[in-house]
Amino acid sequence: MARNGINKRAIDKFARDLVKETNKSLERAQRRNPPRISAQIEATAGAVPGGDVTESHRYLPRLLLWLDGHARQNPTAYNDVTAFVEELQLEDEDPAILAFQLDQHDLVRILPTSGAEVYVRLSDTGRVAVRQLKDLQKDRAARIRHSADALLRWLFDTVSDQAPVDPALFLATPSSYFAGTEISTSDLRQALTYLAEHNLIEHIDTDPATVAITPQGTRCALAGGSVQDHVNQPRPGTTYNNYMPNAKGLIIGEQQHFTQNNTDGVDPTQFVQLAGYIGQVSPILGLPDEDRVELERVAQDLHVEATSATPEPGRLRQFATQLKDKLLEGATTMAATQGIQMAEQALAALVQ
């Protein structure tokens, strides 16, 4: 696996090779089993007048463009939304709900009928929205930001155990759309490069090339914000935050730039990060209060040892092992799984 320190040229070469292999894999998959048309559309906030277009409105940008195509042929005609659902094979979607969602934003006019069909046409606001979607498609920075967000979220949802995965599978999913159009291979390459540069994914030396989400990438996904939010957040060198208000004074936080002078050959960085992570997520692990307090106590002990002038490897191993065992015993959440993986990585680094 690639580790910290990989240079930009290597990352870019990896991304180009990965996209090339991805395209080949996707073409082979399509020949073996032609996929259904993907239709999930996610535009950025504010792309459509009258309200944000978010995941709760995931088909609306594509539907707006579909209506625009029909309006070019006959500007005054109403079109049956059922035809849109059938064309994209969206068995679980209700045409009436899609129409009502657009109507809520004043993007369409609905033709009153007594039947099951739902006929709509673009309103003036809807035509403006279509224009904004087409302009948004030309925004290279917005496309790459969205591609990075969508790819990282797909990796988190699909392979949360950090197993390597062929990105060709992402290109065949509904998430690989932006503002009504498919994510291009060029944008995918840029997104892969950006995620790798910030240690959110890593290259796995397989054939074809694969990627895996990193612990950093998992933390970014769990935070709920965008990749850009994660990259831009302040990184104080020695600032600690109290993430455990019920632990009576514990002050444990994740140090991004931990510096310590010691001559024992021990790098305590991963242990500091492990202690900080436990401090952040302990309230959401679902543990009984007694077990949670004990977990926080061990995390504090680890933090004190790891930030001491001469951290002792045996004590680092002891506390990290205790944290891992306690997470294995009592917690089953995704956050707990991430903590277990961080503990294993810290312990593995100790014996290298």
Task: Give the model's pLDDT for residue 112.
Answer: 86
Q: Which residues of the chain have pLDDT under 50?
A: 1-6, 29-30, 32-56, 236-263
Tell me the C-alpha distance between 99 and 122, whole Å: 11
Task: Give the model's pLDDT for residue 332.
Answer: 67
Task: Give the model's pLDDT for residue 182.
Answer: 86
Burial class (CB in 10 A: 0-12, 13-18, 19+), 308: middle
Task: Give the model's pLDDT for residue 44.
Answer: 34
pTM of the model: 0.54
pLDDT digits (tens, 9 = 90+) for 69-125: 999 999 889 999 999 989 988 888 899 999 999 998 899 999 987 677 899 999 999
Task: Give the model's pLDDT for residue 83.
Answer: 92
For residue 152, give every residue at least 6 positions away whose Cβ sits within 8 Å of its Cβ, in sequence order, or none: 195, 200, 201, 213, 217, 220, 221, 227
pLDDT digits (tens, 9 = 90+) for 50-79: 444 433 456 788 899 999 999 999 988 999
Task: Give the model's pLDDT for residue 35.
Answer: 36
Task: Give the model's pLDDT for residue 67.
Answer: 95
